[in-house]
Amino acid sequence: MKLQLHISTCPNDTFMFDAMVHRRIDTEGLEFDLSLADIEQLNAGALQGVPDISKLSYAVVPQLLDRYRVLHSGSALGRGNGPLLVSRHRIYPDEVSGIRVAIPGEHTTANRLLATLYPGVTDKRVYLFSDVADAVMSDECDAGVLIHEGRFTYREKGLRLVADLGEEWEKKTGLPLPLGAIAVSRRLDRQTQRKIDRVLRRSVEFAFAEPSASAEFVRGYAQELSEEVTHRHIELFVNEYSVDLGAEGRKAVCALLERKEEEIFV
């Protein structure tokens, strides 16, 4: 069976999916037609019901529960890895309301968190995630929400931290922050959905056991990142929750989405 698989070009995704895409593990007869894109493009594709399997922002999952279920493996979820609100000039958290904020997509978890923690921000402008820092540096926006590798490089660009949105979430809930999910289409039967979940878990476990195996695949889509930033990216976003969400991970997802487990997961 060949399945349409849509993931991002970010190192955490290419690291986790390398083994199943390149058949370094037992895929139980599954083959994958791979497409890579920016997270907001992935969200849009899933909203149209295109892929069989897709990386998604957790924030968009409630809009897709009639078409997709979330896998237990492959998530980007954890502590200390949330989006960062940054600015060029000093802005205090209580001054955020009313400013122009660059966001990395309307349907991203970053935008959902910003709305939850700073409901007074109404002037939001959408950019490709990799262009958010430039929008702030050029004064097109007063502040911006950084995701992915942007959290590692913003200081080098002369930007300063206004608020760590992930840290604020953790203070509020005591739970890890769900960022990215892997979802599977309800067009597939439950047996196939669970098979995909098993294969992905096997792929993530292989990535941890043989990290050098995915190096060429990861580097091919992370050419603008230094080796150090690529390594830090993987280390931060791929963890025990990526192997399996577990009870705490599922609780965090349910808290963010305000939904019950049976509505969400395979």
Kindly list the catalytic residues.
148
- Order of strands, edge to edge, in the sheet holding 160-164? 123-126, 100-103, 143-146, 84-87, 160-164
- Binding site annotation covers 124? no
- Binding site annotation covers 192? no
Residue 233's closest CA among 218, 248, 252? Answer: 218
- Binding site annotation covers 115? no
- Binding site annotation covers 109? yes
Q: Cα-Cα-Cα-Cα dihedral of 61, 67, 71, 75, to 10°?
A: -30
- Binding site annotation covers 172? no
3-state secondary structure 146-164: ECCCHHHHCHHHCCEEEEE
Helix (H) or strand (E) holding 182: strand 177-185
Structure tokens, 84: 């960062």
What residues form the annotated binding site for substrate? 55-57, 109-110
Give the residue ranges of the annotated binding site: 55-57, 109-110
